[in-house]
Chains A and B, each alone.
Chain A
């Protein structure tokens, strides 16, 4: 067990490396449950060994029935009841107030539509990245766009499904800043394995500055973007490009990764993704721009990366 823990250890996408109150309490619960499970498993093994090695007639029928009653019935009932009662409080979500930040997240094949709804300001649309302020309660409103997805940031909290026709609420509070990762955990089609997102937990003041910057329009438009009709699907606020089918690209260059947490944000990756998105993500909704000269793709990639 110990060696295994050392072998597999990541700090950015693990339920065992929490950075939020819910994930922390669940991690503690996990450790208690694991210790209990190991103790019971070892005790059972020893008992079975003993039962097999004991010669016949050492245990009378009456004693045997007592064993069944106590070890099989009474003790498990007490243990399970205690476990249930102690875990009930953890089923209650964190309390929220009107003053809390709300973030809408909608799952699409195979990316995330994100909208920040601060209590006293306009909504800010983004994609494939969720930023949360440390120490503040945040209500995530989760929806399914096309099919069922599930929203999971292992280090922050448990998962919650995104179901078409419903809105589920997941309330979280980050406890330490850092860069983390979330993934889709409900099988949602060909590229289910390639549907992740970046999570950034920021100090509250830094978060407020970032959100204010994120709300601003982009620096300027681009002729190639218009020429290839990218605005049919993608929006870049302030340029007149307002497509709503694909991810919003207003501050694309400020994101750490490309294609919903799949590729590092480099010019080469962006350029090749534009021309052949299906090579990175099978089943992606974005059409291939096969005919686009590589030079144009690189120029477009540079422009997009400049949208900070």
Chain B
């Protein structure tokens, strides 16, 4: 493109880009921003704040435990402290921090202008903030959850033994889990669909690979917990006995659902740190990372294995020996891909010319601490050793070595590495190093003695311990270490606080080779000047005149002629340009939706069901407004040029569109939550010989079969509607959608009619309870199906959907596929499964 030599033209382009991407300003309006730069920073700061808060809770605990038989805090306060410390560090710091950092970095890593769904990021942030303040703030009202971060029933489900805190945990954190899943959808679609042209999967920066792996893990790990939360609250609020052994329930079902989430969770918070290593180690070794494909395979392998070892948290529950052996083996096996990743880093440092720096110090120091945590992890994976170590301070030591070495210190390393990228200024190397050594010493002094206090008989979650145990000295050491560690964290905070007073630095201060370092110290909000063609994993090092060509707009999409926020959508495998997608602009609607949805969860906590129902309608209204005004907008022209003679459409639908992928991925998460409930049904059936109880009446065969049949018919009507619509038969498609709506409604009612007419009483026994839950889940989805079909019909009638521009119809068809699947599984299970209906 020769015209990029024209300086005036370039200046005009820059002016247009600047205007289009100008962030909203003003006291109120600035909070409507949806751009990843600002939302990512809010997100990161909030998660950092929650981390500091949870850290202070830990200091109070360590003070209480400094000497035996101390009475600084009561048992009641202590139980709230450790529950909140664990829950906040996991749900409000480790996972959201990864998502927050990724929201900032991903577009830069991929040379995109923003993520595909900026408003979804903003929605995720506001949900996170609201839910986090709700859960964390509860401690100031002495109402914080106090059942441990694992919330084992029946202690937590019996309303005589646990109060409001349990509801706050379940509902507040469910809300945050929803926002975590939303962010995961955003990040997966971002990695798969928003890469720059030429960046095939095997040229992706490793951080993007890890984002993909971790986000997919979130997608499959969080939903079982959401399903568990649902059962849990049904028991607490309505008395449906899912975990009550006296009525056929089983407390172990919760443990399974919790740890199916809980163990992958460990890798969800650990892999992003490895991802940071994978970015900064090549920079400071000044060479390509060794063994790229091995690292990718190891990351995928770790993710895969992590779903197969949850039972090692349950070794002491009295499992069959074969389970012990299997899960011991699986838990050992996960160490192997971890070893591969760590040794790939060591080999890269060995092969390269190492430039010693503060971020590298953090990386190496964390690997050392993590190694100790990993080794004790191998120890507790052996069931006989675990029977001694389980639920003692040995495990407290193990998990803190893992999380400090595998999450916290790498994040601080990442902070020192990426701070210049985000602010244009370096942090102080000197303060950084001192802080590192203080934290390193503090962590070891705090947590190393705990190995011994655990084996010397100190259980976890005790607010006091007797002096005769002889572990006063070890505990005092731990307390001193904890304060030392906190001092190091404080130093980092001071360093950050000093940053605004420092001058801007140079571009790419570490001389890194990856795309994100194109960012200039005085950064523009547009993300990247022009979207480059990628031919290497380290384009800044390897591609000739790369930086200049990007800056001069010589690559793709250097302009915003139509004054719209745009980025390029490419194919999943080989990143060929497919579309220029128009992105969401600043809006109040994500915040409003988050507040409305939050009100549903929060009001339910206080048993204000009618208000909560009202909140649900407001949420629905917000979502429909959001979709109607902001998505699948028919562009003013069918296609546009992105430069170099490439012309791509402005609107695509179906399996190549980012919206379709988002729907598909969301539904995968939804189906995973549903399988959590189905797992519950078959768990009871497998483990309890009296399930269903011999004298029980099921929902019958008739109504479930009617419900299944009508749902399948509705699905067929939708699929046919999509096909005839694509051929231009709009009226036929509309009629089919109307038929579909009627059929879905019929299925909804028939699904509930089964248990209703046979008078199944869900608070009597677990069998009617789980049948009702499956029926209600499916009926609720049918309700959403009706809304989807009705919405699409309305879009067609309003002229916002045409045979050429049919993303709405194609996306709701994805929903209908999953709805049909849900209906088939539910109605076959409750209606046809042996012994189900007598």
Query: Are A and B associated in one complex?
Result: yes
* B347 and A51 contacting across the interface, CB-CB below 8 Å: yes
Q: Which of A108-140 contact B (CB under 8 A)?
A: 109
* B376 and A37 contacting across the interface, CB-CB below 8 Å: yes
A253 on the B face (CB < 8 A) = no
Chain B residues within an 8 Å CB radius of A222: none
Given A10-B456, A154-B388, do A68 and B152 touch, yes or no (CB 8 Å)? no
Which listed segment binds B: A70-78, A223-231, A294-302?
A: A70-78
Question: Chain A, 277-303, contact with B by CB distance < 8 Å: what is the 0/1 string?
Answer: 000001100000000000000000000
Which listed segment binds A: B8-16, B87-95, B351-359, B482-490?
A: B351-359
* A193 and B75 contacting across the interface, CB-CB below 8 Å: yes
Chain B residues within an 8 Å CB radius of A55: 353
Q: Which of B440-464 contact A (CB under 8 A)?
A: 448-449, 452-453, 455-457, 459-464
Of the candidates B75, B324, B382, B462, the one whose C-beta lies within 8 Å of that of A83 is B382
Which listed segment binds B: A156-164, A201-209, A266-274?
A: A156-164
Chain A residues within an 8 Å CB radius of B343: 67-68, 71-72
* A44 and B344 contacting across the interface, CB-CB below 8 Å: no
A256 on the B face (CB < 8 A) = no
Chain B residues within an 8 Å CB radius of A71: 339, 343, 346
Chain B residues within an 8 Å CB radius of A90: 383-384
* A193 and B455 contacting across the interface, CB-CB below 8 Å: no
Q: Chain B residue with minimal CB distance to A30? A: B385
Given A44-B368, A65-B347, A150-B316, do A26 and B460 touch, yes or no (CB 8 Å)? no
* B384 and A158 contacting across the interface, CB-CB below 8 Å: yes
* A193 and B464 contacting across the interface, CB-CB below 8 Å: yes
B318 on the A face (CB < 8 A) = yes
Given A72-B343, A165-B251, do A8 and B470 touch, yes or no (CB 8 Å)? yes
B379 on the A face (CB < 8 A) = yes
Q: Chain A residue with minimal CB distance to B252? A: A163
Q: Chain B residue with minimal CB distance to A196? A: B466
* A158 and B387 contacting across the interface, CB-CB below 8 Å: yes
B456 to chain A, nearest CB (A): 5
A110 to chain B, nearest CB (A): 10
Cα A61 to Cα B348 with chains together (Å):
9
Contact count band on A:
35 or more
Chain A residues within an 8 Å CB radius of B371: 40-41, 44-45
* B390 and A191 contacting across the interface, CB-CB below 8 Å: no
A46 to chain B, nearest CB (A): 11
Q: Chain A residue with minimal CB distance to B285? A: A56
Q: Chain A residue with minimal CB distance to B83? A: A187
* A67 and B346 contacting across the interface, CB-CB below 8 Å: yes
Of the candidates B318, B336, B339, B383, the one whose C-beta lies within 8 Å of that of A163 is B318
A29 on the B face (CB < 8 A) = yes
Of the candidates A25, A51, A109, A185, the one whose C-beta lies within 8 Å of that of B460 is A185
Given A48-B364, A61-B290, A192-B461, do A91 and B351 touch, yes or no (CB 8 Å)? no
Question: Chain A, 85-99, contact with B by CB distance < 8 Å: what is the 0/1 string?
Answer: 001101110000000
Q: Which of A9, A36, A90, A147 has the most CB of B within 10 A?
A: A147
Contact count band on B:
35 or more
Cα A36 to Cα B375 with chains together (Å):
9
A152 on the B face (CB < 8 A) = yes
* A48 and B367 contacting across the interface, CB-CB below 8 Å: yes
A171 on the B face (CB < 8 A) = no
Cα A60 to Cα B336 with chains together (Å):
23
Chain A residues within an 8 Å CB radius of B386: 158
Q: Chain A residue with minimal CB distance to B324? A: A91
Question: Chain A, 18-41, contact with B by CB distance < 8 Å: what is the 0/1 string?
Answer: 000011011001100100110011
Question: Chain B, 407-431, contact with A by CB distance < 8 Å: what is the 0/1 string?
Answer: 0000000000000000000000000
Chain A residues within an 8 Å CB radius of B317: 161, 163, 168
Q: Which of B478-534 contact A (CB under 8 A)?
A: none
* A57 and B351 contacting across the interface, CB-CB below 8 Å: yes
A250 on the B face (CB < 8 A) = no
Chain B residues within an 8 Å CB radius of A283: 75
* B387 and A26 contacting across the interface, CB-CB below 8 Å: yes
Cα A7 to Cα B477 with chains together (Å):
11
B372 on the A face (CB < 8 A) = yes
Q: Which of B74, B329, B462 has the most CB of A within 10 A?
A: B462
Q: Which of A16, A60, A158, A191 has the most CB of B within 10 A?
A: A158
B392 on the A face (CB < 8 A) = yes
Give the 6 A-B CB pairs with smallest separation, nearest first.
A158-B387, A165-B245, A56-B353, A72-B343, A168-B318, A193-B462
Excluding A45-B368, A160-B316, 8 further A-B contacts by CB distance (< 8 Å) are A65-B291, A68-B347, A147-B158, A159-B388, A159-B390, A164-B251, A185-B392, A193-B459
Residues of B within 8 A of A (CB): 74-76, 79, 147-148, 152, 154-155, 158, 161, 245-246, 249-252, 285-287, 290-291, 294, 316-318, 321, 324-325, 328-329, 332-333, 335-336, 339-344, 346-354, 356, 364, 367-368, 371-372, 375-376, 378-379, 382-392, 448-449, 452-453, 455-457, 459-465, 468-471, 473-474
**9 sample A-B contacts, Cβ–Cβ < 8 Å, listed by A number:** A15-B456, A37-B372, A50-B350, A55-B353, A64-B350, A73-B340, A146-B158, A187-B391, A191-B75
Residues of A within 8 A of B (CB): 4-5, 7-10, 12-16, 22-23, 25-26, 29-30, 33, 36-37, 40-41, 44-45, 47-48, 50-61, 63-65, 67-68, 71-73, 76-77, 80-81, 83-84, 87-88, 90-92, 109, 142, 144, 146-148, 150, 152, 154, 157-161, 163-166, 168-169, 181, 183-194, 282-283
